[in-house]
Structure 1
Amino acid sequence: MNSRRSFLKKRLHWRQNTIVSTSLFLTRLTEDLQRYEIVNGVAEAEIEKGVPNFWLIAMKTNEMLANEITERDEGALKYLKDIRCCRVENNSRNFKLEFLFDPNPYFKNSVLSKTYHVTDDDDDGPVLDKVIGMDIEWCPGKCLTHKVVVKKRPKKGSKKVNNIPMTKTENCESFFNFFKPPEIDEVDECYTTMDEELQNLMDQDYDIAVTIRDKLIPHAVSWFTGEALVDDDEYNDDENDD
């Protein structure tokens, strides 16, 4: 009798877990289908090329990503048609983010990617080993990660040539700096040292990548509609209550 009761309990537990797993799978499948239909215009027949600015709106709804996007970036991000994440080298911790773009007047790349390699450390757990970005092939005069600063020459005489302004190219804030990860200065083959500022940059960079991987991509429709923002606020409130 006891053995049968134990068997029934185990079977009930298995069925409950199966139902939960199936429910999560169906939820993810539904969200993926919704994203595909909205982005590609299948859901609404009158929209031939999908919802305009879908990914730009979804990204700007997330506070962390919105802080990285400048007004100048928005023009280029309007051409973003999909964001994907894939595993790298059969390692469950390594991943690559791919941003797929329609042809646009800003750069020639159709795909911008960034790869994260994570290793297991016996003492510290998962450790970020290296980050691989890529070069963006900017169209002439369209680079969003640099700006041209005009400075007047000091007057040294009456000749007009002395009044010709000088131009200088400087780095500037842009979401597209994301594809050029912070550089780590290697001291030798075994050790790498990072100052506090660089460590903060690396941490911030990884946090952005994880946000895109774990929040934005699987729940893109919810971020687009704003529902994810409400859920995120409720989750943070629950954490604060604890």
Structure 2
Amino acid sequence: MFFFIDIWSSCNMADVDNKEQSELDQDLDDVEEVEEEETGEETKIKARQLTVQMMQNPQILAALQERLDGLVDTPTGYIESLPRVVKRRVNALKNLQVKCAQIEAKFYEEVHDLERKYAVLYQPLFDKRFEIINAIYEPTEEECEWKPDEEEEISEDLKEKAKIEEEKKDEEKEDPKGIPEFWLTVFKNVDLLSDMVQEHDEPILKHLKDIKVKFSDAGQPMSFILEFHFEPNEYFTNEVLTKTYRMRSEPDDSDPFSFDGPEIMGCTGCQIDWKKGKNVTLKTIKKKQKHKGRGTVRTVTKTVSNDSFFNFFAPPEVPESGDLDDDAEAILAADFEIGHFLRERIIPRSVLYFTGEAIEDDDDDYDEEGEEADEGYQLFEEVKSCSKLFQRWLQ
């Protein structure tokens, strides 16, 4: 709001008659009264009305455009105004920045090597997790002991009574093997994944036994493979479905300053060998067609794509030119995000997504970031909506 008041004041210096000047001064007085006397929703309404009123004044719009042009052009204009000898030194700094990006690329390559090294150390733990989930291994009493924070103050007597009650209930129920529907529950608990899972996918994902990540060998181009291991089922014959992500960790020669760590350059799925009539990625629809001449009607069937999690294994192919339509770009962008999320969050911390604890942590992180950004974003949206001028400038 003060940004507009500043522009309003600058317009007063233009060639306007006394009547217009008086009206402008009165409007400024109104702004001060609103800020000093009004509170709550009434203040917001009056402030917005005044903003709209100001934006309808051609002189205000002209001053605003001049200010925006200044904001856009100032950095470039300043650099262009520098003496040639100073510009040469700035170019030297840019060359140093490129070398920094090259060192940063080496750093991320070594991080990838460390991930490969520590993946070997994690694997025995992930193997035992797999065995517990799939009823291959029954954990000992000691391994099952866990004391959540809220239970720290509970007396030993109460704990013993609760334990006895739980054992009685377990005896009355059928003894389930392992942890049923573990990975399906993880998927349904995470918004990013649950949006992909359709109702017809759920019976298939109940057969998902494990998800693993494999890193490329040392000396090979940077990549990782997601492996989805399934038990024998009535839907497809594959035991493992794979998704390979190719990565790059080096600055782009045409734009080295944009480098911000490894990026996924492409991905490849796998063929799913569906059993007859079980392919959930396709559906058959019936359409009625009317003959133009005879007027007869016939029903035809057509097979079309169907929304399914298993489309994840058939991503759009990236042509050598790298040109993609908007839909393909959006699909790949979401695909890359999902691949990273599975690799970095879901696979290492799956039990916490199963229980929901990791989801609460993620929500807390987003809340903190959101609170900082909300105020500035809201102001920007209000200003943008006041005038089409902003929209033209942002384009």
TM-score greater than 0.5 by the shorter chain: yes
The answer to whether the aligner puts 1:106 opposite 2:230 as a matched pair is no
- Aligned position for 1:140: 276
Higher relative strand content: 1
Tell me the residue number matched to 1:198. Answer: 328
SS of the equivalent of 2:332 reads: helix
- In structure 2, the partner of 1:51 is 179
Percent same amino acid at aligned positions? Answer: 37
CA gap 1:87/1:30 in 2 versus in 1, 3 angstroms: closer
Aligned residue for 1:168, secondary structure, equals strand
Equivalent position of 1:211 in the other structure:
341
Show structure 2 runs of 5+ residues with no match: 1-118, 141-174, 373-395
Structure 1 distance, partners of 2:286, 2:194, is 29
Shift of 1:157: 6.5
Aligned residues: 209
Question: Are 2:309 and 1:175 equivalent residues in the alignment?
Answer: yes
1:6-17 paired onto structure 2 within 5 Å: none
Residue pair 2:236, 2:272 contacting (<8 A) in 1 also: yes
Please list the CA deviations of residues 181-236 of structure 1 after superposition, one character each: whole Å capped at 9, or x if unmatched. 1112223xxxx223333222211100011111111111111111111111111121
Greater relative CO (CA pairs within 8 A, separation 6+): 1
Letter in 1 for 2:212: R
Give the distance between the partners of 1:102 and 1:36, measured in 2 at CA: 12
Amino acid at match of 2:199: E
What one-letter code is carried by the residue in structure 2 that aligns with 1:228? Answer: A
> Cα offset for 1:43?
4.4
2 CA distance for matches of 1:31 and 1:237? 32
Deviations 1:53-76 (A, max 9, x none): 110001110110000000011111
Larger radius of gyration: 2
Does the aligned pair in 1 maintain the 2:130–2:210 contact within 8 Å?
Answer: no
Q: SS in structure 2 opposite 1:139?
A: coil
Pick closer, same or farther for the CA change 1:103–1:128 going to 2, 3 Å.
same
Indicate the residue corresponding to 2:129 in structure 1.
Answer: 35
Give the Cα–Cα distance (whole angstroms) in 1 for the partners of residues 354 and 280 of structure 2.
24
Code of the residue aligned with 2:319 in structure 1: it is: D
Which residue is 2:367 aligned to?
237
User: Aligned AA for 2:209?
Assistant: K
Output one character per residue of 1:2-24: Cα deviation in whole Å (capped at 9) or x when no partner. Answer: xxxxxxxxxxxxxxxxxxxxxxx
Gaps of 5+ in 1: 1-24
**Aligned-partner residue type, residue 79 of structure 1:** H
Which residue in the other structure is 2:165 paired with? Answer: none
1:35 Cα deviation from its structure 2 partner: 3.1
Q: Distance in 2 between matches of 1:51 and 1:164?
A: 51
Match of 1:15 in 2: none
